[in-house]
Amino acid sequence: MAARWSSENVVVEFRDSQATAMSVDCLGQHAVLSGRRFLYIVNLDAPFEGHRKISRQSKWDIGAVQWNPHDSFSHYFAASSNQRVDLYKWKDGSGEVGTTLQGHTRVISDLDWAVFEPDLLVTSSVDTYIYIWDIKDTRKPTVALSAVAGASQVKWNKKNANCLATSHDGDVRIWDKRKPSTAVEYLAAHLSKIHGLDWHPDSEHILATSSQDNSVKFWDYRQPRKYLSILPCQVPVWKARYTPFSNGLVTVMVPQLRRENSLLLWNVFDLNTPVHTFVGHDDVVLEFQWRKQKEGSKDYQLVTWSRDQTLRMWRVDSQMQRLCAHDLLDGVDEFIEGISLLPEPEKTLHTQDAEHQHNSSHGEEEVLKEDPPSSLLEEKKSDPLGLPPTLQQEFSLINVQIRNVNVEMDAADRSCTVSVHCSNHRVKMLVKFPAQYPNHAAPSFQFINPTTITSTMKAKLLKILKDTSLQKVKRNQSCLEPCLRQLVSCLESFVVGSLLATCALGFYFLSSSLNPWAP
């Protein structure tokens, strides 16, 4: 792939700030630059029109700073300094320091606000303790986790409210805050210190680690003995984080030469070369974060802070985002999503005891499986406006004349087997419906033998089926027939596209069915 690079769109200098940390708020309105004498609040919509300061009195630099990620608490941020964390409030153009969290006996290495609970903050320290704080009662931590070695990174899982990860030299521990006595999983991830840790935005089991050993590794912590994939680098990797779009990853290196102060954008399906390079900083990049998308815009904006004391903002448009797409056929997504959002024709429910039984074998080899998120079952409530149809009623109303599709339905077992023929390919899939379906409970989709499409195509189809089913069950609507139509339409698109671009796409397909991005 040809090398691509860009310079920044906005550059703002803060020569006297001596800021060592930066954070962007969840609304995308402000950035905080944390220096020893002042905290600088920058309006990202008008970064050249001056900035506000919050003074601080400390001989210690700020090690980590982070805004609360919840809209209703977006005016709060936390900043660590030596052994303490100060909680700040910024509202209506003025800021003040509130309470202080004290409990660690050595320097705090990292902090992270909880993704699902706005009152919870976790801190890690060299003193080997990881503390979870409730800011409504800051006298002491609500949960204390203890490890043998000090922790350098701590991150909440983005999909599971109880799960978090910590790094200890080259190792990673996975914790459940409900079981604080010991870690639930242990990964011997790297031979050298881990500098960065990031959970996948769509999969609760996948995370990326970046290390002093010149590599980024991707993990499924359910399989801790072997990484899923590796990005080898020539120099140590300071940070590696997933992008908020598609299948991208941004890395920052520990520079050995001047030219290595750039940020690299990668497609996780092709880790041979970066798809884009952000060139401009003259010194080490200390932090980078993403602004929230503006309403009606498809562009993202990457905000970076460097030791060169410049804040830079880089526009990432749709064309650049497509460089991180799964393959060149990813452009069909917008068309497919448009179809799935079209209103379904109304059908009159009527009683019909038509059950289709089948005794065929599903095969023993499980290729790929997509389970419905448990949070949909636990946190959502039934639609108060009416009851959805039963599974038996849905089966009786299915249009069995969909082209190239055969459906064997078993209402008693709450499952069906779908067979699709397209060109020389065959897909066979087992669909299972949970007891709560379709009350905010999506079915699971599992490929079974004989299925002849590639692992890449399987992963893409699973994502589309998952998205389609979730759109329906969130509204307590049946999803089987829309999913069948999506399956046929997408499979035909993939087959036609692969015939036209087999050579061009060959290097995109991974030989392993274990992919670090899979939801």
Length of the chain: 519
Position 437 in a domain: yes
Report the C-alpha gap between 421 and 405 in whole angstroms. Answer: 7
**pLDDT tens-place string over residues 441-479:** 899 999 998 888 888 888 888 888 998 899 888 888 888
Overall number of domains in the chain? 1
- The pLDDT score that the predictor gives to residue 292 is 93
237 or 349, greater pLDDT = 237
> 353 or 15: whose pLDDT is higher?
15
In a domain, 111, yes or no: no
In a domain, 390, yes or no: yes
Tell me whether residue 416 is in a domain.
yes
pLDDT digits (tens, 9 = 90+) for 259-314: 678 999 999 988 999 999 999 998 999 999 999 998 889 999 999 999 999 999 99
Residue 27 lies in a domain: no
pLDDT of 311 reads 95
Q: Which residues contact 251 (CB under 8 A, 6 or more apart)?
A: 210, 216, 231, 233, 237, 239, 240, 263, 264, 266, 274
Q: What is the maximum span of the chain, computed from C-alpha positions, in angstroms? A: 77
Q: What is the CATH number of the domain that holds 382?
A: 3.10.110.10
- The model scores a pTM over 0.85: no
Q: Which residue has the tokens 């998952």?
A: 466
Identify whether 503 is part of a domain. yes
Cis preceding-peptide flag for 450 (omega within 30 of 0) = yes
pLDDT tens for each residue of 182-196: 999 999 999 999 999
Residue 82, domain member (yes or no): no
pLDDT at residue 348 in the model: 32
The residue range of the domain holding 442 is 328-508
Closest CA to 175 of 162, 188, 159, 187: 162
Burial of 312 (0-12, 13-18, 19+ CB in 10 A): buried
* 384 falls within a domain: yes
Tell me the pLDDT tens digit for each residue of 350-404. 333 333 333 333 333 333 434 433 333 333 333 333 334 678 778 877 766 677 7
Q: What is the mean pLDDT of the chain?
A: 82
**How do residues 321-336 score in pLDDT, each as one tens digit?**
999 986 544 444 443 3
Nearest to 116 by CA among 156, 76, 56: 156
Distances (CA, A) of 416 to 289, 444, 445, 459, 478: 44, 11, 10, 20, 14
